[in-house]
């Protein structure tokens, strides 16, 4: 699919994802948000809680560091425990250090005061922010994420991640939202492959895909046409339906 939208990558950080203990859903959620708001997600990577791996991935992805993509979004590793090392790795990748951010500290102190709890050293870890970063608000639980360069760092807890995404993405300069049309056919992929290929060649600016499924009534294939121009997407879908006698 041809596009002039900003490009993006997602970096999911956490041993619990790689071990299979936790089902990853943050990248799936953010992918849908980005598509709807005019960003082209090009890559998703999962890495362990390993400083060197995180640094290498950030440098590979963040265009401000010579990486491949306009924007990088990360999930995980900014909590209160010893294995939450994302802030340190991001700082290292961007050539800076980590310090207690006064605004972040104030946010955490205010939340502790409301809850009648103490701002312990472990809780204060969530105020450790790379020097030069700006905060990402967290309406769910208070502890902020942060942005530095083209890297946007968010929590791994799904509810917190979604709150940060909801605050952050509308503030980023997006492009044209992806337009999509789907038709369901009760045929296998092999039966529609030639017609799909022909339409894809006729509309090289669009993305056409086939996705088989099975349900209680039988099996079939969803055919999807995606692009940035709604009229072109509609034209391609009409052509596809005509070829398939739908």
Tokens of 56: 């290498």
Residue 62 pLDDT: 98
Handedness of CA 156, 160, 161, 162 (dihedral sign): positive
For residue 60, report the phi and psi dihedrals to the nearest 5 degrees. -75, -25
CA atoms within 13 A on the CB side of 226: 17
pLDDT reported for residue 1: 80
Phi, psi angle pair for 114, to nearest 5°: -65, -35
Domain chopping of the chain, boundaries: 7-171, 179-243
Going by C-alpha positions, the residue among 101, 76, 100 that lies closest to residue 89 is 76
How many Cα atoms sit within 13 Å of 72 on the Cβ side?
32
Q: Hey, which bits of the chain come out as E strands?
A: 7-13, 40-47, 71-75, 98-100, 128-130, 134-136, 145-148, 151-154, 179-185, 207-215, 218-227
- Which fold, 179-243? Alpha-Beta Plaits (3.30.70)
pLDDT value for 2: 84
DSSP string, 35-82: HHHT-EEEEEEEE-S-HHHHHHHHHHHBGGGT-SBSEEEEES--SSST
pTM of the complete model: 0.91
pLDDT < 50 regions, the chain: none
pLDDT at 73 (0 to 100): 98
Per-residue pLDDT of 167-207, as tens digits, reads 999 999 999 999 999 999 999 999 999 999 999 999 999 99
Note the pLDDT of residue 152. Answer: 98
> Does domain 7-171 sit in CATH 1.10.150.530?
no
């Amino acid at each position: 699919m041809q596009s002039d939208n900003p490009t993006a990558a997602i970096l999911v950080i956490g041993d619990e994802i790689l071990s299979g203990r936790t089902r990853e859903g943050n990248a799936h959620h953010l992918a849908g948000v980005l598509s709807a708001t005019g960003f082209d997600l090009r890559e998703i990577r999962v890495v362990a809680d390993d400083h060197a791996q995180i640094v290498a991935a950030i440098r590979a992805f963040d265009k401000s560091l010579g990486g491949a993509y306009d924007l990088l979004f990360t999930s995980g590793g900014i909590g209160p425990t010893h294995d939450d090392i994302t802030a340190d790795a991001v700082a290292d990748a961007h050539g800076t250090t980590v310090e207690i951010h006064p605004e972040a500290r104030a946010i955490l102190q205010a939340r502790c005061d409301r809850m009648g709890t103490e701002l312990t050293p472990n809780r204060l870890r969530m105020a450790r922010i790379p020097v030069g970063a700006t905060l990402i608000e967290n309406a769910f639980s208070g502890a902020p994420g942060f942005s530095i360069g083209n890297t946007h760092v968010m929590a791994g807890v799904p509810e917190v991640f979604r709150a940060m995404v909801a605050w952050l993405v509308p503030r980023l300069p997006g492009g044209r939202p992806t337009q999509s049309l789907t038709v369901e056919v009760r045929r296998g992929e092999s039966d529609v492959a030639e017609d799909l290929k022909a339409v894809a060649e006729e509309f090289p600016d669009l993305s056409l895909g086939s996705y088989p499924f099975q349900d209680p009534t039988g099996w079939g294939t969803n055919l999807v046409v995606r692009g940035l121009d709604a009229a072109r997407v509609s034209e391609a879908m009409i052509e596809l339906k005509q070829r398939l006698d739908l």
